[in-house]
């Protein structure tokens, strides 16, 4: 059965390292999106308390101070700040995907919470594969595969930043026939340059490969991110995007560096079934013994932050293990 779901991708500048102001900002954005009919609101990566762009500046004293402030202005998944946000989701009856710094003891993690329309936290994932700069501020999360949330608006999955380029993670979501994918991005103080690793390119490729809608919120990174101590930048950071399953943009993006909410009405219900029929038609036939082996294959460790279940492909003995 087809249904129309209005989604909202946030393109806004965080309240850098000011948690209480940031929570109020999130609550206001949820309310504004809901007032415009959105049923799903997606926020950029680590929107609370802001992605640590200051780590790119070569100043140890400044970095130590800001790392301390980042920890102090991160929140717990069950604290008062999170309850304010889940309460806003419940009051407005909207789903929320929020990127935030999760504090536990003296560690902070790059976390992404999925909140349903009843204000319940469906899941919180801690980003495991951090880049060298992120590891200077955040702890690595426990490696686990992402899961698709099956809810009233459809099948929704979410990843943060460069996770959207990791085949193991994206394959796990595609296997569950994801319909709406949230690809959260932190923006860029220098503006987004075109290229294979740009947020827009990665988001579009995800839409093509997964045959799913992609909602890609993106933060604005202005001069306020540097607290008047570091390099001054314009407001030319990345742009929020919303892509259809074929990779076409559903709606014209907001101007780069402008703050606002990008909306789109998505038709949910037919793309997954069409994809299933194509996959079944193209799938090679397997003998019963091979099918049983594929179902019972044992996961194998690929490294500190990677797991894979061997996939049985082809018709030869034993098939081919794809990781």
Q: DSSP readout, 236-257?
A: -----EEE-TTS-BSSPPPPTT
Q: DSSP readout, 118-151?
A: TS-EEEEEE--S--TTGGGTSBPPPP-----EEE
| Spatial contact of 197 and 209, defined as CB atoms under 8 Å apart | no
Distance between CA 48 and CA 51 in Å, rounded?
A: 8
Distance between CA 202 and CA 156 in Å, rounded?
A: 18
Residue 60: the pLDDT is: 60
**Phi, psi (5° rounding) for residue 142?**
-70, 125
Distance between CA 234 and CA 191 in Å, rounded?
A: 9
Instruction: Name the residue among 300, 305, 322, 323 with its Cα closest to residue 313.
Output: 322
What are the chain's domains? Answer: 3-276 (3.60.110.10), 286-323 (no CATH)
Instruction: Name the residue among 316, 319, 323 with its Cα closest to residue 299.
Output: 323
Residue 57: the pLDDT is: 63
Instruction: Name the residue among 142, 202, 148 with its Cα closest to residue 180.
Output: 148
* Average model confidence (pLDDT) across the chain: 83
**Tokens 């894979």 identify what position?**
308
Q: Is the peptide bond before 49 cis (omega within 30 degrees of 0)?
A: yes
Instruction: Name the residue among 157, 153, 239 with its Cα closest to residue 206.
Output: 157
Residue 123: the pLDDT is: 95
| Spatial contact of 233 and 224, defined as CB atoms under 8 Å apart | no
Helix axes 199-210, 167-175, angle to 10 degrees: 40
Residue 56: the pLDDT is: 67
Q: Which residues fall within 8 angstroms of residue 235, CB to CB, at 6 or more apart?
A: 13, 220, 221, 222, 223, 256, 257, 258
Distances (CA, A) of 51 to 86, 156, 182, 268, 301: 22, 24, 17, 32, 31
Please list the ranges in the chain whose pLDDT falls under 70: 56-62, 191-193, 226-236, 270-323
**Tokens 């979501």 identify what position?**
173
Distance between CA 146 and CA 170 in Å, rounded?
A: 8
The pTM score is: 0.82
């Amino acid at each position: 059965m087809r249904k129309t779901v209005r989604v909202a991708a946030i393109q806004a500048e965080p309240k850098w390292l000011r948690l209480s102001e940031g929570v109020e900002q999130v609550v206001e954005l949820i309310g504004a999106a809901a007032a415009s009919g959105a049923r799903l609101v997606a926020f950029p990566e680590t929107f609370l308390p802001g992605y640590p762009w200051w780590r790119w500046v070569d100043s140890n004293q400044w970095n130590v101070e800001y790392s301390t402030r980042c920890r102090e202005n991160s929140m717990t998944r069950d604290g008062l700040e999170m309850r304010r946000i889940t309460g806003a989701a419940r009051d407005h009856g909207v789903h929320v995907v929020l990127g935030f710094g999760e504090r536990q003891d003296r560690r902070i993690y790059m976390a992404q919470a999925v909140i349903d329309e009843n204000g319940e936290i469906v899941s919180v994932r801690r980003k495991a594969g951090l880049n060298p700069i992120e590891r200077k501020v955040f702890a690595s999360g426990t490696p686990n595969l992402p899961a698709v949330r099956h809810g009233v608006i459809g099948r929704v999955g979410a990843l943060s930043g460069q996770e959207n380029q990791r085949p193991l993670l994206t394959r796990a979501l595609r296997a569950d026939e994801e319909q709406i994918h949230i690809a959260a991005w932190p923006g860029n103080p220098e503006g987004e340059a075109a290229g294979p690793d740009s947020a827009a390119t990665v988001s579009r490729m995800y839409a093509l490969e997964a045959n799913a809608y992609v909602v890609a919120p993106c933060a604005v990174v202005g001069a306020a991110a540097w607290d008047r101590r570091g390099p001054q930048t314009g407001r030319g950071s990345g742009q929020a995007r919303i892509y259809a399953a074929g990779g076409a943009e559903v709606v014209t993006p907001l101007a780069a560096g402008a703050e606002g909410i990008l909306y789109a009405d998505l038709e949910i219900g037919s793309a997954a079934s069409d994809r299933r029929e194509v996959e079944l038609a193209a799938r090679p036939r397997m003998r019963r013994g091979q099918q049983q082996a594929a179902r019972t294959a044992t996961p194998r460790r690929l490294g500190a932050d990677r797991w894979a279940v061997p996939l049985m492909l082809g018709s030869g003995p034993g098939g081919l293990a794809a990781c």
